[in-house]
Chains A and B, each alone.
Chain A
């Protein structure tokens, strides 16, 4: 904000910091431990009056001086140089707060240099007693340097009370100060042992080699318990939230943790190796190998410490982007560019959008990312995202995965940055709208019904009105092809009855949909997902596209479960509302009692591609493309450490619900994981950058311009959107998450969700939904302010799709499936969903509405028997007129 950004797009100044800092700090630790090593080894030589050790000390000092004083000294200045280039604001802050700390450190530094120069150049000219004193002073100065620098390094990770007081000593003697000092001191001793080998193995004297190898091994291995204790202490001096972010959320640290553990073991192996009798040549080669392993060990420690600080450069105070935590709110309100001194753009306009995006990229991304470079390449990281996906990423960045800073700035700035990355860097088109379709209506012949002669009314419906399947079967399945039809047969009369015995209900799909296996690959992968080998065109419940219903006592209906219908017609067209012909046949005689049609809604218009990229799978119309599916698996793998993509690409895709429980398919999942719906909604709610019902149709097939337009009941025609019943995306997700708060992931996902409702009641997906009667109190006209949020039913049996009226008729039988309540309007044919009311009452209104009791009753009725307030004129007839 305050300083120009070094636009080092391919390399990234942070990489340079890491490179210089790790090598320097490795050598700097040698300077400390090596100081102790020189002093005590010299002391041993004097006490034992051992000329062999004396010779070794002298030679080692020379090597030590060339490495620590020349390389170590200058590279230390190098860190200072490079951090000032990479993050001038943070460097300035550290310099100004701790200038006297740095100055004190310099005093120790010059003392260290003078001591080492005297110890080396005057080695033989001094009395032994004085030489040992100088050696000790060297070690003391070197360690005191560490005492000072450790305070500032630890401050950056755990500034502690400094955040409130701003006082030097509160920052310096911070919560991780002593543990870090202890760990570093022990590590320094070990590193001294490691470097001690170098002079030993290159010595020509066998006696010296034999003696000093063992000596160095002691230095290498004795500190190990102290290092372990120090690491334990260190970890426990860092706040739990920091550890969670570092070790659980940040997938990048997994490799480093492994590297730390492996190199720790290998360093131990180094000690064992030098205890063995090997050839001098092998010893020489291996010493470099072990030095590199030591560097790996040390670097992984520093890397973890640096990562633990993310997203801050000074924890809780300044982000790695140089933005002060205290300024975020103001910058979100007023804009980052307005306050960025070194930006060529201070206000985003349509014309300067890409230029503004570049400035924002420099300000907020370049600190950690490169453009096509060596580390955190932004092009690679965002390759799978669309423009909308990029905006979502920026919107949700840092909320759940809080090792990244949140985007700071206005909405316009967020879009400008997304535009720069997607258009400016990726060269992709900036698509801001959902795909537009114009479905072609298809004729639907209404079956005959003669109220004078027909004795039966057959009511049939799909249990869900809005239903998707994912057809990216080689990669994953959100829901398999499985529509469930239900039906009730009513024998007309003065007092009609629901017929349950002596009949057979049959179903068959309309022509062109009989062979779903020709359109989707579900049957090729069913065994991998569900562990069962399925015959082609037969569903998980054993039903095919033609068959018989089963009587379901609890539901008081005939049910045909999991019919594997798909929305693809054999002629290549997309039809998300295939019709089923349902016949009621008398069992004994085979006489056809009644026949009707019902829609089995099934769409593959899933909005994953809106953010995750990829086209449509089938004919440019619908379906989840391979590219989309692969992108999703990869991102899941990256964030959660899974191997779903690898498994799927080897022909063994994994069922999402094998981990994430799902009442929709009866999957128990595994403990500790959120259920499937909670996981999906909880995650995406943090990233969803659009509001209201638009958020829902980004994924679900209910967009008014989409190819399914699944929200086709009376409600959208009355101007209601998804959120009137389900709440906003945040509320919807919060209810689900609140039901799973025992899982840490739920707590992480819910913490940043804001809801207008003060407390969203916990809810189990599929089992608990908004209740109709929450708005339609006592079956009456809802108040304008009514909302379905928090009206979740308690028991499964209270669900609209399960409930019956007072006479044993299912709600859905007369009102149709949820989301397609009569009078429904279907873009693929005006009355495609209204077949039954049109058949029985020549009207799309609910069965029995508008005083049409005679559909079932053979006499006029004037009592609200089925439910209160039913005998009345239909309120919203204008909706029918407007269709």
Chain B
């Protein structure tokens, strides 16, 4: 069967595609930072808590991060919504198709995410009173988040590879998981390893803002940065593996044939390597900045790869524009107003003067 005949017709879009792409990538950056931090933080914590015999030390070392995780999950989920929304505007016809093909795995994300979310709460609430339950909860949350990541990667991969869609005719029950593809494993590992790296940074960040003794604080930050550096060095290997697993044509595009793609991949690699070096040397703020730059470059690279995959089947320029500029303007106004109000709430919520007045 000719798979190209399977590709659905896309609906018209209410604003230029670039707007949705930018919004998607921008907010996705925030989302992935948070999700990486949650997963990586949780992995480091589970490993660390199992290694640490002394519960008091474990509490001091990990509870500050554990306490932040529920809020981070809340924000991560929330910030996952716009990228998914804006991506559907541009790539919806491909994304809905791949989602249906793997529907069973895809919909399982929801109950597992709810359970993972509650498990993160239980982990925090039972940290001291019931360490076993706490750790089991954390392990459960990690497993579920790993599952969700796996499925997200699989769906993105499937969406980008319509040539594998003909499998539907043998598997119509939504159980087709295109994870045996040669790029899948490095792609997934690329996400997990980066999570560990960001998790390390999370530790550094949390302790950076804590009122510990300088020595303890520094030690914790250093530990976090070391984890970051180690994970990033692994990430270099995984990244290369991922690159080499791609079709030859894509590799060549990243190796100079496509200037834009090459630039961003290179920028990401350079910033990442830089971050690794600064992390080893304990430069916290520089590492943070370089990491954000790396992530931004890699997210753009990810988008470039998507375009390469879809090149033969779809181009965003094919989409019909049916403008709704008035509503778009309203959204932008409300977005700004919303951010102002959020800023105001943060201000009153964390106003030190007022807090002391309240006390």
Contacts and interface: CB of A to CB of B under 8 A. Distances in A.
Interface of A: 2-8, 13, 16, 20, 66, 69-71, 73-75, 77-78, 80-82, 84-85, 88, 91-93, 95-97, 99-104, 106-111, 113-115, 117-118, 121-122, 124-128, 130, 133-134, 137, 166, 168-169, 341-342, 344, 362
Contacts of A109: 78, 81
Given A73-B74, A92-B88, A341-B8, A6 B103 contact: yes
Contacts of B11: 92-93, 95-96
Contact of B174 (A71, A85, A121, A126): A85
B357 to A, nearest CB: 6
B179 to A, nearest CB: 19
Given A6-B174, A100-B327, A70 B107 contact: no
Nearest to A99: B89
Contact of B13 (A96, A102, A111): A96
Interface stretch (B92-100, B205-213, B297-305): B92-100
A636 to B, nearest CB: 37
What 7 A-B pairs come out closest when comparing CB atoms? A88-B96, A78-B110, A7-B172, A118-B349, A130-B348, A107-B338, A96-B11
B93 A2 contact: yes
A362 B169 CA distance: 13
Contacts of B330: 100, 104
Contact of A114 (B107, B113, B345): B345
Contact of B14 (A73, A74, A97): A97
A4 B331 CA distance: 33
A85 B5 contact: no
Contacts of A70: 74, 114, 117-118, 121
Contact of A4 (B20, B114, B168): B168
Interface string B325-347: 01110110011001001100110
B28 interface: no
27 contacts: A2-B93, A3-B8, A3-B96, A4-B165, A5-B172, A73-B74, A81-B109, A85-B107, A85-B174, A88-B8, A88-B99, A88-B100, A93-B11, A106-B78, A106-B85, A109-B78, A110-B78, A114-B342, A117-B71, A124-B358, A126-B355, A126-B358, A127-B348, A130-B349, A137-B345, A168-B327, A344-B169
Majority SS of interface residues in chain A? helix
B247 interface: no
B51 interface: no
B13 A77 contact: no
A74 B117 contact: yes
A104 B82 CA distance: 10
A298 B257 CA distance: 59
Interface size classification for chain B: 35 or more
Nearest to B329: A100
Contacts of B357: 127
Given A85-B106, A107-B334, 6 more contacts: A74-B117, A95-B88, A100-B327, A111-B338, A130-B354, A169-B327
A826 to B, nearest CB: 57
B342 A66 contact: no
Interface of B: 1, 5-9, 11-15, 20, 23, 71, 74-75, 77-82, 84-86, 88-89, 92-93, 96-97, 99-101, 103, 106-107, 109-111, 113-114, 117-118, 121, 165, 168-169, 172-174, 322, 324, 326-328, 330-331, 334-335, 338, 341-342, 345-346, 348-351, 354-355, 357-359
Nearest to B13: A96
A190 to B, nearest CB: 25
B358 A125 contact: yes
Contact of A74 (B77, B331, B358): B77
Contacts of A342: 6, 168
A100 B77 contact: no
A343 to B, nearest CB: 10
Given A2-B8, A81-B107, A108-B338, A101 B327 contact: yes
Contacts of B7: 341
A82 B107 contact: yes
A496 B165 CA distance: 90
Given A81-B107, A134-B349, A110 B342 contact: yes
A273 to B, nearest CB: 30
A97 B174 CA distance: 27
Contact of A103 (B85, B100, B350, B359): B85
Contacts of B345: 114-115, 118, 134, 137
B110 A77 contact: yes
B174 A8 contact: yes
Contacts of A5: 100, 172
Given A66-B121, A100-B330, A107-B335, A4 B354 contact: no
A331 to B, nearest CB: 15
Contacts of A126: 348-349, 351, 354-355, 358
A75 B110 CA distance: 7
A16 B110 CA distance: 12
Contact of A92 (B20, B96, B349, B350): B96
B226 to A, nearest CB: 30
A118 B342 CA distance: 10
Contacts of B109: 81
Nearest to A110: B78
B97 A99 contact: no
Given A8-B174, A114-B342, A77 B86 contact: no
A113 B74 contact: yes
A6 B346 contact: no
